[in-house]
């Protein structure tokens, strides 16, 4: 990789690690972890965390663990574990042998709990869920001690053992840390450490009927794995005192928890709950719908892991809540694909173009450059004949001044081919709809160039009607119509902002014959249109399906927009 790398942006977590390295807090080690709960698909917010954790580890010569935080069997499924691993791998990261599960530590965690009971720092509470809530107090008033708070160590030990043995029903007992019911931090008001759940676990089976809570399990899992920097999102800031409390109480190895702001992106939602709702209610076709901000959605949409990684580096890491413009993500994608994607011609909304002076039955194979940004990409042959398809948008019968595409009497270049001059149009007598455009070509302009100094303003893409392949093309737009879908009128939710035009399916579009061989998932630039990929799920030899990953920047569209607004009274 000789490409000139951007210098790594400065951010507070790098500063913290630098500082710890300087003071030898962790003997020069850097060990991070990405700790997903296997209860849903990963989204681009997770990608930020993955890039941060794996990226930092790589940068400092350390390691990053992939650890599944699987402490709640009712919400978690095997299926998610595989999708998460696939997504992390696809993003380009490798956990090597460091694949772990919090459930692997259940025995150790149980022993730690017993140790806390013996130290008088944990007790079995027999209050009901509702009572526990009531005893906890509120934001502004302190909680009160449970009547079971002062059970003897022996009694607690016996009760906890019986909880484990399955002697009690769910909800009848919990193990709580004995901290401070009057703490202004609600997390410190005797947090629950274990609850009874008579539910088999996807990895430990029927071994357990009590499961540890996040706050107890997470920090200790970090400790067991000798993590140095435990990076999580802002909402856990209030949990840090508790994270530290368990580690200190048990006198075990103590990682540092550091919190950063989660990613928000314009025109989309990011919470698992909301994404699940979109899937379940059929607003999208699934977790991997190309409009979803999931990793699998972006993958199917045609995004590259490089673009996503670059995006994650560019957005930075900080503690303030923010909403990143999705235009930056699109920019990263275009920047990557501009260099790599082969150019190809595809007509989305076909309009017949007949070249009156081109011999019937004649076919020429013209040379076309595969990528002007990459001289090594070579050329290909494209068939040219008397009847072509051009884009409907590339012809206007009565064009405005700034339109420099095809119109009666106007001359344009057909990319890689010839100059053509429009001689007229053929219309449906009744509807007035344009059926085809007629033109003549200049045989001296083969390849799309004339040495006589003649200037043509426009260059059009095209396909030969007799040779082109039919294809289905799916045009995607933002899933929501508002930058912040959360902004709604009272008594409606984010679904009210769903974009009814987020998907437009075009068929039959006409594409270059060479695309018959296009591999699923392969990416192209459709000249003058945008970046597209072969849909890895629905495309087949019989029915080619392309997804639009992103449009090209479109100055003409902007001019039109400005014009329309200008004419508004």
Partner RNA sequence: UGGGGCGUCGUCAAGUGGUAAGACACAGGAUUUUGGUUCCUGCAUUCGGAGGUUCGAAUCCUCCCGCCCCAGCCA
User: CA dist 400 to 25, 406, 425, 556, 560, Å?
Assistant: 69, 12, 18, 12, 10
Task: Specify whether the CB–CB gap between 341 and 315 falls below 8 A.
Answer: no
In DSSP terms, which residues pair with 132 in a beta bridge? none
Judged by CB, which is closer to RNA: 35, or 293? 35
Judged by CB, which is closer to RNA: 102, or 292? 102
At 370, list the tokens: 């595969």
CB of 540 to RNA, least distance (A): 27
Give the C-alpha separation, 332 to 549, whole Å: 12
Give the C-alpha separation, 483 to 326, whole Å: 9
Task: Specify whether the CB–CB gap between 196 and 170 falls below 8 A.
Answer: yes
CB of 543 to RNA, least distance (A): 26
Give the C-alpha separation, 109 to 211, whole Å: 10
Q: Are strands 434-442 and 350-355 parallel, antiparallel or unpaired?
A: parallel
Which H or E run includes 371? none
CB of 126 to RNA, least distance (A): 8
Judged by CB, which is closer to RNA: 12, or 507? 12
CB of 384 to RNA, least distance (A): 12
Q: Residues for the chain: how many in total?
A: 569
Give the chain's end-to-end CA distance (angstroms, integer): 56
Q: Which of 16, 37, 77, 277 is catalytic?
A: 37
CB of 57 to RNA, least distance (A): 19
3-state secondary structure (DSSP) of residue 107: helix
The per-residue b/e assignment along 497-531, b for 16 or more CB within 10 angstroms, e otherwise, is bbbeebbeebeebbbbbbbeebeeebbbbbbbbbb
Q: Could you confirm whether 195 is annotated as catalytic?
A: no
Judged by CB, which is closer to RNA: 151, or 195? 195
CB of 458 to RNA, least distance (A): 6
Strands (DSSP E) along 35-191, which ranges?
63-68, 99-101, 122-125, 174-177
Q: What are phi and psi of 564, to 5 degrees?
A: -60, -40
Helix 305-314 / helix 78-91 crossing angle, nearest 10 deg: 80
Q: Which of 16, 25, 29, 272 is catalytic?
A: 272
Q: Are strands 350-355 and 544-551 parallel, antiparallel or unpaired?
A: unpaired
Give the C-alpha separation, 129 to 146, whole Å: 12
User: CA dist 25 to 160, 383, 508, 551, Å?
Assistant: 36, 67, 64, 49
Give the C-alpha separation, 182 to 514, whole Å: 72
Q: Could you confirm whether 330 is annotated as catalytic?
A: no
CB of 67 to RNA, least distance (A): 10
For CA atoms 304, 305, 310, 315, give the dihedral sign.
positive
CB of 431 to RNA, least distance (A): 26
Give the C-alpha separation, 42 to 64, whole Å: 17
Q: Which of 14, 85, 262, 380 is catalytic?
A: 262
The per-residue b/e assignment along 218-227, b for 16 or more CB within 10 angstroms, e otherwise, is bbbbbbbbeb
CB of 218 to RNA, least distance (A): 7
CB of 373 to RNA, least distance (A): 5
* 211 Cβ neighbours under 8 A, 6+ residues apart: 71, 72, 73, 194, 195, 197, 201
- For residue 404, how many other CB atoms are within 10 A of its CB? 14
Q: Point out the residues that are catalytic.
A: 37, 262, 272
């Amino acid at each position: 990789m000789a490409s000139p790398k951007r210098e790594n942006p400065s951010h507070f977590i790098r500063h913290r690690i630098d500082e710890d390295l300087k003071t030898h807090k962790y003997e020069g080690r850097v060990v991070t972890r990405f700790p997903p709960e296997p209860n849903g698909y990963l989204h681009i917010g997770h990608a930020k965390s993955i890039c941060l954790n794996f990226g930092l580890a790589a940068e400092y010569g350390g390691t990053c663990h992939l650890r599944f935080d699987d402490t709640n069997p009712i919400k978690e499924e095997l299926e998610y574990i595989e999708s998460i691993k696939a997504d992390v791998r696809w993003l380009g990261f490798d956990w090597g042998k460091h694949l772990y599960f919090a459930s692997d530590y259940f025995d150790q965690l149980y022993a730690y709990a017993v140790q806390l009971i013996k130290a008088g720092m944990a007790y079995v509470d027999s209050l009901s869920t509702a009572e526990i809530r009531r005893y906890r107090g509120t934001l502004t008033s302190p909680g009160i001690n449970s009547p079971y708070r002062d059970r003897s160590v022996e009694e607690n030990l016996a009760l906890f053992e019986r909880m484990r043995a399955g002697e009690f029903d769910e909800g009848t007992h919990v193990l709580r840390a004995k901290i401070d019911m009057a703490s202004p931090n609600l997390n410190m008001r005797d947090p629950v450490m274990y609850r009874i759940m008579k539910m088999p676990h996807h990895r430990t089976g029927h071994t357990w009927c009590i499961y540890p809570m996040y706050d107890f399990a997470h920090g200790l899992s970090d400790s067991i794995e000798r993590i140095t920097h435990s990076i999580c999102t802002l909402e856990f800031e209030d949990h840090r005192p508790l994270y530290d409390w368990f580690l200190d109480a048990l006198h075990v190895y103590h990682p540092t928890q550091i919190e950063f702001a989660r990613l928000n992106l314009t025109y989309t939602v990011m919470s698992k709950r909301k994404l699940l709702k979109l899937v379940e209610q059929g607003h999208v076709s699934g977790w991997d719908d190309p409009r979803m901000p999931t990793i699998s959605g972006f993958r199917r949409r045609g995004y590259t892991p490089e673009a996503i990684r670059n995006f994650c580096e560019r957005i930075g890491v900080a503690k303030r809540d923010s909403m990143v413009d999705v235009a930056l993500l699109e920019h990263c994608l275009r920047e990557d694909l501009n260099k790599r994607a082969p150019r190809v011609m595809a007509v989305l909304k076909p309009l017949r173009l007949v070249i009156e002076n081109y011999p019937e039955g004649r076919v020429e194979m013209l040379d076309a450059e595969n990528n002007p940004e990459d001289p090594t990409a070579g050329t290909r042959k494209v068939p040219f004949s008397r009847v072509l398809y051009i884009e409907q948008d590339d012809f206007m019968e009565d064009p405005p001044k700034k339109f420099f595409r095809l119109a009666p009497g106007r001359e344009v270049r057909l990319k890689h081919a010839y100059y053509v001059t429009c001689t007229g149009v053929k219309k449906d007598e009744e509807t007035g709809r344009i059926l085809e455009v007629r033109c003549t070509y200049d045989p001296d302009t083969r390849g799309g160039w004339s040495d006589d100094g003649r200037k043509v303003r426009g260059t059009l893409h095209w396909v030969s009607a007799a040779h082109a392949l039919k294809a289905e093309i799916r045009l995607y737009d933002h899933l929501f119509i508002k930058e912040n879908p959360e902004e709604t009128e009272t008594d409606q939710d984010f679904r009210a902002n769903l974009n009814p035009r987020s998907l437009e399916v075009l068929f039959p579009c006409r594409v270059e014959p060479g695309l018959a061989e296009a591999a699923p998932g392969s990416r192209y630039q459709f000249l003058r249109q945008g970046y597209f990929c072969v849909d890895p799920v629905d495309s087949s030899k019989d029915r080619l399906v392309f997804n639009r990953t992103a449009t090209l920047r479109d100055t003409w569209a902007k001019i039109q927009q400005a014009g329309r607004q200008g004419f508004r009274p």
